[in-house]
């Protein structure tokens, strides 16, 4: 029942947000003609599809780097195949089964008894994503530092808030790294046996300790994955720059790269389906404030960038159906 309510609310929020957008910017007169330009400006469309795939490829490489520390013989093609299918779930999922859930389930079936290492590797994979986004956003802010005063008050507050959020996340990682050291946890269990021994807290601490131990073992791989992650996020953000150019808009690359971490964070909030509506509204507002991009163009560009990534999600869906079909056929009893 709770899942049904959650799905219904997300569908409702996405529908309301899109309805408001298309009421403000006429779908037929303002949006559709710009989306048709994807065919006319086909070089930018192809570039957008290409960098969207590059982002998926680098995401698979990032995860593979960490996984290889625990599963040395795991082929990259399997991780890439899993990443493509997870893109389908990331885009299409309206319930609790998303890309991460599929990744864990898929590799756990291929690697019996390795569910925990796969899950821990996925946690480290996401942590490298936080590090790389913080680096990209910080770099963009430094490059724009001389123009900070030219931004409107609302934009300055938004970027300050996001910077605080990301900085807090990094500070939390450092504090967690210190807090979950085995010696410190052992002291806590001796000193506060009642609190630290609570079943729920003990389970959380045990998993956190496992992540800490894996990171301590694989920190070089994690740093390498963070470098790859920087390229992955850059490619993903550039797919929306290509979307902007494909619908006939223009803006400095730096402005798009500055806006996209905030846009991506807003779209990742579990309040809508695939970020629809939230992404478009945020992209529209930021590009209008940073580069004076017309609002209807910003909405169209955001939809175009989503379409480029949706393309690979559809490819992942086809691969998923083929995998299910193959497993169904191969599971049939064979006659002697």
Q: For 215, which DSSP code?
A: H
What pLDDT is attached to residue 333?
36
Q: 66 in a domain, yes or no? A: yes
Non-local (6+) Cβ contacts of 185 within 8 A are 179, 196, 205, 209
Which tokens in the block code for residue 67? 């996984």
Distance CA 137, CA 103 (A): 28
Task: Measure the CA–CA gap between 289 and 223, rounded to whole angstroms.
Answer: 35
Residue 131 in any domain: the answer is: no
Torsion 28-29-31-33 (CA) sign? positive
Tell me, yes or no, whether 182 lies in a domain.
no
Within-domain flag for 170: no
Q: Can you say how many angstroms the Cα of residue 193 is from the centroid of all Cα atoms in its chain?
A: 38
247 part of a folded domain: yes
Provide, for the chain, the percentages of residues in helix, strand and coil under a 3-state DSSP scheme, each rounded to the nearest 5: 85, 0, 15
The number of C-alpha atoms within 13 Å of 15 and in the hemisphere containing its C-beta is 6
List the one residue out of 61, 63, 75, 67 whose CA is nearest residue 114.
67
State the total domains in the chain: 1
Can you give the residue range of the structural domain that contains 271? 35-124+227-330
> Is residue 237 in a domain?
yes
Distance between alpha carbon 302 and the CA centroid of its chain, in Å? 15
Asked if residue 247 lies in contact with residue 301, where contact means CB atoms within 8 angstroms, the answer is: yes
Per-residue pLDDT of 213-228, as tens digits, reads 777 777 788 889 999 9
Q: What is the largest CA-CA distance in the chain?
A: 79
Start-to-end C-alpha separation, the chain: 47
Residue burial 29-54, b: 16+ Cβ < 10 Å; e: rest:
ebbeebbebbeebeebbebbbebbbb
E strands, 127-252, in order: none
**Tens of each residue's pLDDT in the chain, 336 residues:** 666 666 677 778 778 888 888 888 888 888 999 999 999 999 999 999 999 999 999 999 999 999 888 788 889 999 999 999 999 888 766 544 578 888 888 888 888 877 877 887 888 888 899 999 999 999 999 998 888 888 888 899 999 999 999 999 889 888 877 777 777 777 777 777 777 666 777 777 777 776 677 777 777 888 899 999 999 999 999 999 999 999 999 999 999 999 999 999 998 887 777 788 889 999 999 999 999 999 999 999 999 999 999 999 999 999 988 875 444 333 333 333
pLDDT value of residue 115: 80
Q: What is the pLDDT of residue 277?
A: 86
Look up residue 127 and give its two tokens.
Answer: 């942590």
Please check whether residue 198 lies inside any domain of the structure.
Answer: no
59 within a domain of the structure (yes/no): yes
């Amino acid at each position: 029942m709770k899942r049904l309510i959650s799905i219904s609310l997300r569908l409702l929020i996405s529908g309301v947000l899109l309805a408001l957008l298309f009421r403000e910017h006429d779908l037929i007169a303002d949006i559709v003609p710009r989306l048709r330009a994807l065919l006319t400006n086909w070089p930018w469309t192809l570039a957008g599809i290409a960098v969207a795939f590059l982002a998926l490829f680098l995401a698979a490489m990032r995860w593979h780097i960490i996984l290889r520390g625990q599963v040395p013989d795991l082929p990259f093609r399997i991780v890439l195949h899993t990443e493509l299918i997870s893109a389908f779930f990331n885009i299409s999922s309206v319930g609790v089964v998303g890309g991460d859930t599929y990744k864990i389930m898929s590799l756990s079936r291929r690697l019996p008894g390795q569910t925990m290492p796969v899950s821990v590797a996925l946690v480290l994979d996401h942590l490298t994503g936080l590090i790389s986004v913080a680096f990209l956003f910080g770099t963009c802010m430094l490059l724009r530092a001389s123009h900070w005063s030219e931004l409107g008050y609302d934009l300055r507050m938004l970027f300050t808030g996001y910077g605080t959020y990301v900085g807090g996340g990094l500070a939390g990682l450092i504090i967690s790294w210190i807090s979950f050291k085995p010696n410190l946890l052992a002291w806590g269990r001796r000193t506060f046996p009642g609190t630290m021994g609570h079943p729920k807290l003990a389970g959380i601490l045990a998993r956190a300790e496992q992540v800490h131990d894996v990171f301590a073992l694989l920190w070089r791989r994690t740093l390498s994955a963070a470098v790859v992650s920087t390229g992955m996020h850059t490619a993903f953000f550039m797919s929306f720059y290509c979307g902007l150019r494909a619908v006939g808009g223009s803006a400095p690359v730096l402005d798009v790269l500055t806006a996209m971490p905030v846009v991506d964070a807003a779209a990742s909030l579990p309040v809508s389906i695939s970020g629809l509506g939230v992404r478009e509204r945020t992209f529209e507002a930021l590009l209008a404030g940073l580069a004076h991009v017309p609002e209807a163009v910003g909405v169209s560009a955001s939809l175009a960038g989503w379409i480029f990534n949706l393309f690979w999600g559809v490819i992942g869906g086809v691969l998923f159906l083929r995998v299910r079909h193959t497993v169904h056929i191969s599971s049939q009893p064979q006659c002697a």
